[in-house]
Amino acid sequence: MQESQLLKIANEFGSPVYVYDGNKIEAQYKRLTGAFKNVKKLKINYAVKALSNISVLKLLHTLGSGIDTVSIQEVQLGLAAGFKPEQIIFTPNGVSLNEIEEAAQLGVKINIDNLSILEQFGAKHPTTPVCIRINPHVMAGGNANISVGHIDSKFGISIHQIPHILRIVENTKMNINGIHMHTGSDILDIEVFLYASEILFETAKQFNNLEFIDFGSGFKVPYKPGDIETNIEELGKKLSKRFNDFCKDYGKELTLAFEPGKFLVSESGYFLAQVNAVKQTTSTVFAQIDSGFNHLIRPMFYGSHHEISNISNLKGRERFYTVVGYICETDTFGNNRRINEINEGDILAFKNAGAYCFSMASNYNSRLRPAEVLWYNNEAHLIRKRETFDDIIHNQIAVDFSTNKENILAK
């Protein structure tokens, strides 16, 4: 998107505001499917947790995507967005058997990553197809905070526990229709990912009635100029050949599945915020905006980098600013960034704000969550209204203690 379009949206819908470029989402989806065009059966299941707005889900539905969900509420949201149950896979962690049964009753695909739950579910519902999430003990992601395939991860069933899985399957006669892994986000080394894939292939050989193998996702996107990213095209070429060879040996055409979130939506997103004040201290110039980690927590939570530009002053000379929020905590978005000269009232744009940004927003400090806008085919669509104070207190119950206090004092 162009800065002039973003500035127009900020003027029309106010700030702070999230903006998503629908055409970029579409381009990323087609890039991924194009990289695996040599696979006969390919299924992309968008990870809803990355950005769960129903209009974004509807857009992905029109592209042919399925969805990967991690809560019963995300399952319900997917159904409301028009996805059929068979287009939804439920991949929770640490949920109760009751929640998994509730999802199964809705007809969605079930993915289980716990031996105890697997045995309980198989004993009660042996005919319901189940996918098993394996922990390959391979950390393919570049950030330990967001890698989920290492040996001490809470996610997945250890590859060393395959005999336990086979015993449960044999005893319950349950139907295993898929094998799944997820090594974590920001995959830098394709060869490490391919190594983990070999572990998944070896595991898949243990099951005779598979319909799909899900390789997770975690593909890295660039966060700043010159940044490295996962080479999807190279991965597509190498993994497609290996997958097709496996299917020949297996004697059946399986579906190759992925569950990308960040790869599809991160670069589509922009977070726009207005500068409240410019504050000079003894050593720092702060640009203080009308937002905080209540709206964009990733820089403080993960140390994530988001490029910041002043779209109100594109030709201004660069100066060093530390961009901070209005929350009564340390909420620093960027330290000593070179940004075109900032004045109060200017609009700053944060890039890569499509994934895990609004979806992690809160009402901390009783602040309102921002609006969301989808830019698609040169038209801006409001897809979430800005919250009001009434939204904050809607579910709160105000108890009147005055009468009770008077009775206590009377005694």
CATH code (residue 170)? 3.20.20.10
Widest Cα–Cα separation across the chain: 86
* Confidence (pLDDT) at 144: 47
Residues marked active site are found at: 328
Considering the domain architecture, whether residues 305 and 342 belong to the same structural domain is answered as yes
Considering the domain architecture, whether residues 261 and 382 belong to the same structural domain is answered as no
- Strand-pairing partners, residue 392, are none
3-class SS at 351? coil
Instruction: Report the candidate in 296, 302, 366 with the shortest Cα–Cα distance to residue 324.
Output: 296
Q: Structural domain of residue 328, as residue ranges?
A: 267-389
Considering the domain architecture, whether residues 249 and 295 belong to the same structural domain is answered as no
Distance CA 276, CA 290 (A): 6
Reported as a single tens digit per residue, the pLDDT across 146-156 is: 444 455 678 89
Considering the domain architecture, whether residues 123 and 231 belong to the same structural domain is answered as yes
Considering the domain architecture, whether residues 162 and 271 belong to the same structural domain is answered as no
Q: Rounded to two decimals, what is the model's pTM?
A: 0.93
Residue 352 counted as domain residue? yes
Distance CA 309, CA 392 (A): 31
Domain boundary among the residues 229, 245, 265 is at 265
Instruction: Report the candidate in 184, 59, 172 with the shortest Cα–Cα distance to residue 122.
Output: 172
Q: Does position 259 have pLDDT exceeding 60, yes or no? A: yes
Which residues sit in the known binding site for substrate?
A: 298, 302, 329, 356
66 vs 42, 95, 347, CA distance in Å?
A: 11, 22, 36
The per-residue pLDDT of the chain, averaged, comes to 93
Considering the domain architecture, whether residues 289 and 257 belong to the same structural domain is answered as no
Q: Does position 265 have pLDDT exceeding 70, yes or no? A: yes
* Confidence (pLDDT) at 407: 61
250 vs 42, 192, 214, 243, CA distance in Å?
A: 17, 23, 16, 10
Which residues sit in the known binding site?
A: 218, 298, 302, 329, 356
Label residue 140 by pLDDT band (50, 70, 90): low
